[in-house]
Amino acid sequence: MSQELKNKNLRTRAKIIADIRAFFAARDVIEVETPLLSHGTITDPHIQAIPAFFKQDLSSEQITTVYLQTSPEYAMKRLLSEGIGSIYQICKAFRQGEKGKYHNPEFTMIEWYRVGFDHHDLMQEMDELLQAVIKTKPALKLSYAEMFEKYLGINPHKASEKELIQCAQKNKIDLASHLSDRDAWLSLLMSHCIEPKLGPEEPVFIYDFPASQAALAKIRSDKLASRFELYYKGIELANGFHELSDAKEQRKRFDADLAYRFENNLPVVPVDERLLTALEKGLPDCAGVALGIDRLIMLALSQEKIQAVLSFDFANA
Amino acid sequence: MASYTTNEIRGGMKVMIDNDPCLILENEFVKPGKGQAFNRIRFRNLKTGRVVERTYKSGDSIEAADVVDVEAQYLYNDGNHRHFMATESYEQYQMTETEVGEAGLWLKEQGECTLTLWNGTPLAVAPSIFVTLKIVETDPGVRGDTSGGGGKPAKLESGAVVRVPLFVQEGEVIKVDTRTGEYVSRVKE
């Protein structure tokens, strides 16, 4: 890509980020900064943190492993539990091994939390943000179940693993690997058969995920997770939750993640105990979401690769 | 043989899939923010030529294939086989007409080419990008036409038929782009 075009993209990037800040300033959501390096890290088996090594004493052999954040979620929740109110942050996040045309191992995200919102309120606000900043049409909303029904004609909550496998075969997915669980099959179908078709005209919110894919969302009495994702032009842009605030339940999910990691030879990482302490203290009822800014800018500029909107991508960093 | 994990695989690498040597065309990393990551890998089976897209769980590995490209010279056709000699090692190789495929239309004795070897046996041959070949058959052109518009078919000594401008005559030597099969220029011998 020519430097001239790159410079033009970077100017648009600056404008979009400035517009996002103005959007939140007008709504009294305050900007915060939290540490990029942390002692604890994410347990989600599908997200790996990039470790770094800290030395108390430069001449000593003793090192402490710390982790570059994969998102600012835990630290922001700690601020929320201290009563700060609604907050946002624009920051770098880092993920091990994630490199591709829509992935750079170091990327920029905006994450925000709204006290007193549930996931539907937050989808509404996010839609307003997109319309204001990149001039999208009003977004559509589909539940996870409606989405599978619409694109594949199956019920993702009730279909057996065998039916999911048959569905993948019917849709000519040639899979070389063994998948160990039902959620992996859902993920396969979603990324191969559905995602590319989502949101060609207007952004689409997908909400109410299976409880087994709740991550840090509340699970309701109807066994659905109050989680949503945003897709636009076939690309995932955001993931949000009506946030889980139950410390005991949170510890249970962390433990389950670590057990899965142990069984699958993934790093068994230190849990963020400070987050759990904050949840015990009390997280206000809130919803939060993380949006990939690089992808948002990429789509606003009709670019096909994330590298087109980065000053220097990972290969050139 | 070594193996590559899905994250290491790039276009141009040669790997073993379904016991056949394959050329990687594209490797797309597909990863939802939350959930299983996959790599969608497009490859060409170097034995059958078939292009396939297959999905792997990220982190899985694929065995590398002992496939190398060597510079070679085309020697002759004995009626059953085409014979080649590697420029560096002087090692000789033979291939059937089927194995040679369309590349055969561009091969001239003593001409340069590239042999793709798998475990030491030739899988494919590729002619040089530009070859110079003599026209052995073409209709006489219209005198005075120098535009090149339209053109006419001309049969070359290697067997290929290309379109040439009307002013180009039988017996002349021309330069051809073998990637497109298009006439480039006349060559003074």
A132 φ/ψ angles, rounded to the nearest 5 degrees = -75, -40
In this prediction the pTM is 0.84
Q: In this predicted model, what pLDDT tens digit does every residue of B1-34 receive, in sequence order?
A: 799 999 899 999 999 999 999 999 999 999 988 8
* Cβ contact, residue pair A187, B36, below 8 Å: yes
- CB pair distance less than 8 Å for B7 and A229: no
CA–CA distance, A32 with A61 (Å, rounded to integer): 35
On chain A, the residues whose CB falls within 8 A of the CB of B7 are: 97, 99
Taking CB atoms and an 8 Å limit, are B32 and A192 in contact across chains? Answer: no
A178 vs B contacts (CB less than 8 Å): 57
Judged by CB atoms closer than 8 Å, whether chains meet at B36 and A46 is answered as yes
pLDDT digits (tens, 9 = 90+) for B89-118: 999 999 999 889 999 999 999 999 999 999
In order of A147, A211, A221, the CA distances from A144 in angstroms are 5, 11, 17
pLDDT at B145 over 70: no
Which stretches of chain A score pLDDT less than 50?
none
At B143 the pLDDT is: 59
Q: Fill in the DSSP letter of residue B135.
A: E
Which value does ipTM take for this structure?
0.88
- Which region, left, alpha or beta, applies to residue B151 given φ > 0 means left and ψ of -120 to 50 means alpha? left
Strands (E), A55-174: 64-68, 87-94, 106-115, 140-143
pLDDT confidence of residue A204: 98
Q: What is the pLDDT of residue A93?
A: 98
Segment B65-84 shows an average pLDDT of 94
Contact A199, A232 (CB under 8 A): yes
Question: Would you say how long chain A is, in residues?
Answer: 317
A275-to-A81, A166, A283, A304, B96 alpha-carbon distances in Å: 9, 41, 10, 37, 69
Across the interface, of B35, B36, B54, the residue whose CB is closest to A174 is B54
Question: Read out DSSP for B13-82?
Answer: -EEEETTEEEEEEEEEEE--SSS--EEEEEEEETTT--EEEEEEETT-EEEB--EEEEEEEEEEE-SSEE
